[in-house]
Copies of this chain bind each other. A is one copy, B any other.
Amino acid sequence: MKLKIKDMDIATGGPLVAVMNNKDAMKFDIHHLDRIKIKKGKKVETVVVGIAESSKAMPEGRIGVYEEVVDSLKLKNNDKVSIMLARKPLSIEFIRKKLDGKTLNKNEIDQIVWDIVHNKLSESELTFFVAACYTNLMSIDETIMLTKAIAKHGATLKLGKYPVIDKHSIGGIPGNRTTMVLVPIIAAAGLTMPKTSSRSITSPAGTADAMEVLAKVSFPINKMKEIIMKTNGCIVWGGSLNLAPADDKIITVERTLEIDAESQLLASIMAKKYSASSTHILIDIPIGNGGKVKNKEEALKLKQAFEEVGKRLRKHVRVMITDGKQPIGNGIGPALEARDVLWVLRRDKRRPLDLERKCIAMAAEILKMTGIKDSKSKAMEILESGKAYKKMKEIIKAQNGKIFDPDRIRIGKFELDIKAGKSGVVKGIDNRTIARLARVAGAPADKGAGIYLYKHVNDKIKKGEKLFTIYSESKHKLRFVKEAIKKLPGTIAIK
């Protein structure tokens, strides 16, 4: 069958998709979500078909193609193409196998990941894979194969250095901006730490969002390498590097149901470390409300899985289980967190000591892993001597940044103080509510928006004293915060 191209002038953001009129589809026995081959000249591409019910949506004799197909076949409006029914990708059978509770082998997992990366699966098929791995948890063997496959079908960073340090904090705890303190300490110690971070998905800020307040974070992989060669470290956004493109697509689907299968969490984190050729990896598992890990039992199980996967991938993996029952640091939101970090690095008296303590403990653990003795004193010395701050300035400069002075960071000019209704001791801070309010105030899109905490758990407070300030970049959003806070009482519990 020959059809005329209609350029839909729109991208799907992934799957290769075309649209046919239902009469054309019927003639060829093609159903919604079937696959067809589109042939133009010698070029052939397999796409998933949507069926338009009306000829207004798609006239007979025409086939609508989305940008990914236009690009792949170099199509123009009104080009004539041939259409053939195509077979489903190989991985469909393997996805069904996993859905049936069976174990996948290396080739099967590899094929699935290849098909994901090359946009061969429809949204529905990819979802079946995610659901299958969620309900029929992958074994450690499968998780390792998945990790390697995700890393293999993406870019890799080769530095020719040893050791190469990496760290990852499991998300969900507001603040907790350890990476921006750790990288300069480790790099100042002479070790290589090529850190890629994510932007916020559901939190008030990711490390990439906070670092972006001080410097650029989006670089191609060769530029990232240059930065590392110059400074020993970097703090960049992982999203533009294509280190684990399959994982990025899997996460998009997971978000629709807010699920996160343990095997996919492991593979997702470890694949990126594997692609970055890391040799020594520290994993931070904070336990707390609003976090991914709710209790010690879950944390220990996850710790064991990380250690096992690490061993099998021949990586040095150390896991710290940490306290995540309240925000870490005082600032919540990109600018407020970046300011906390610079205060710690500059030994400013306003620095949050909880964040500093945690960073020193993590840095000591990393240094110890690489065989450095008295690692805690060493980490402390690097921080106190100003070497870490000096290194951070180098990194900021290398990443085209200009802000080194925390007082030059722009914080939202509209503010609202929340004061204690009674005197007593702070008994708890609700991570979820803090995160929610910071987001309503505009974080992470509005860099200056967020929350600044004056009190942490066990601090004494007097009636009328400030608990926290909410910052916003617009009056409008601050009004939303005022409304939201009425519905969210008990952000901070005092007894």
Stretch at the interface among A27-35, A297-305, A314-322, A403-411: A27-35
- Of chain B, the residue at the smallest CB distance from A30 is B445
Is A146 located at the chain interface by the 8 A CB criterion? no
- Complex interface bits, A1-36 against B, C-beta within 8 A gives 1, otherwise 0: 000000011111100000100000011110111000
Q: Give which listed residue, B28, B56, B255, contacts A31 with CB less than 8 A.
A: B255
Contacts of A329 in B (CB 8 A): none
Which of A13, A101, A252 has its CB near the most chain B CB atoms (within 10 A)?
A: A13
Contacts of A57 in B (CB 8 A): 9-11, 67
Contacts of A8 in B (CB 8 A): 8, 10
Is A128 located at the chain interface by the 8 A CB criterion? yes
Given A445-B26, A445-B29; A99-B259 close (CB under 8 Å): yes
Contact B13 A101 (CB under 8 A): no
**Shortest Cβ distance from A413 into chain B, in angstroms?**
19
Contacts of A53 in B (CB 8 A): 11, 13
Contact B11 A54 (CB under 8 A): yes
Stretch at the interface among A119-127, A149-157, A163-171: A119-127
Q: Give which listed residue, B28, B95, B131, contacts A128 with CB less than 8 A.
A: B131
Contact A51 B128 (CB under 8 A): no
Is A185 located at the chain interface by the 8 A CB criterion? no
- Complex interface bits, A105-124 against B, C-beta within 8 A gives 1, otherwise 0: 00000000000000000111
Is A439 located at the chain interface by the 8 A CB criterion? yes
Contact A13 B50 (CB under 8 A): yes
Is A222 located at the chain interface by the 8 A CB criterion? no
Contacts of A201 in B (CB 8 A): 31
- The quantity of this chain's copies bound in the complex is 2
Q: Give which listed residue, B11, B12, B28, B122, contacts A256 with CB less than 8 A.
A: B122
Contact A33 B256 (CB under 8 A): yes
Q: Give which listed residue, B28, B67, B124, contacts A445 with CB less than 8 A.
A: B28
Contacts of A67 in B (CB 8 A): 54, 56-57
Stretch at the interface among A132-140, A230-238, A377-385, A417-425: A132-140
Is A265 located at the chain interface by the 8 A CB criterion? no
CA–CA, A132 to B168, complex, Å? 31
Q: Which size class do A's interface residues fall under?
A: 35 or more
Contact B259 A445 (CB under 8 A): no
CA–CA, A123 to B32, complex, Å? 12
**Shortest Cβ distance from A367 into chain B, in angstroms?**
37
Is A332 located at the chain interface by the 8 A CB criterion? no
Q: Give which listed residue, B26, B27, B127, B439, contacts A131 with CB less than 8 A.
A: B127
Contacts of A51 in B (CB 8 A): 13
Contacts of A444 in B (CB 8 A): 29
Given A9-B57, A50-B12, A52-B13; A255-B99 close (CB under 8 Å): no
Is A96 located at the chain interface by the 8 A CB criterion? yes
- Of chain B, the residue at the smallest CB distance from A95 is B257
Contact A134 B99 (CB under 8 A): yes
Contacts of A131 in B (CB 8 A): 99, 127-128, 131-132, 135
Contact A253 B29 (CB under 8 A): no
Contacts of A86 in B (CB 8 A): none
**Shortest Cβ distance from A410 into chain B, in angstroms?**
17
CA–CA, A134 to B134, complex, Å? 13
Is A369 located at the chain interface by the 8 A CB criterion? no
Is A92 located at the chain interface by the 8 A CB criterion? yes
Is A73 located at the chain interface by the 8 A CB criterion? no
Is A64 located at the chain interface by the 8 A CB criterion? yes
Contact A124 B29 (CB under 8 A): no
Contact A257 B92 (CB under 8 A): yes
Other than the given A10-B19, A11-B52, A125-B257, 20 more pairs (CB < 8 A) read A9-B56, A11-B58, A13-B32, A27-B445, A32-B252, A33-B255, A96-B257, A101-B135, A122-B123, A123-B124, A124-B124, A124-B126, A124-B256, A125-B256, A127-B127, A127-B128, A127-B131, A131-B131, A132-B135, A135-B136
- Top 9 A-B pairs, shortest CB-CB distance: A131-B131, A127-B127, A11-B57, A135-B135, A124-B127, A29-B445, A124-B256, A123-B123, A10-B57
A–B complex contacts, Cβ < 8 Å, 8 sampled: A10-B58, A12-B50, A13-B32, A33-B253, A123-B123, A124-B126, A127-B131, A132-B135
Interface residues of A (CB under 8 A from B): 8-13, 19, 26-29, 31-33, 50-54, 56-58, 64, 67, 92, 95-96, 99, 101, 122-128, 131-132, 134-136, 201, 252-253, 255-259, 439, 444-445
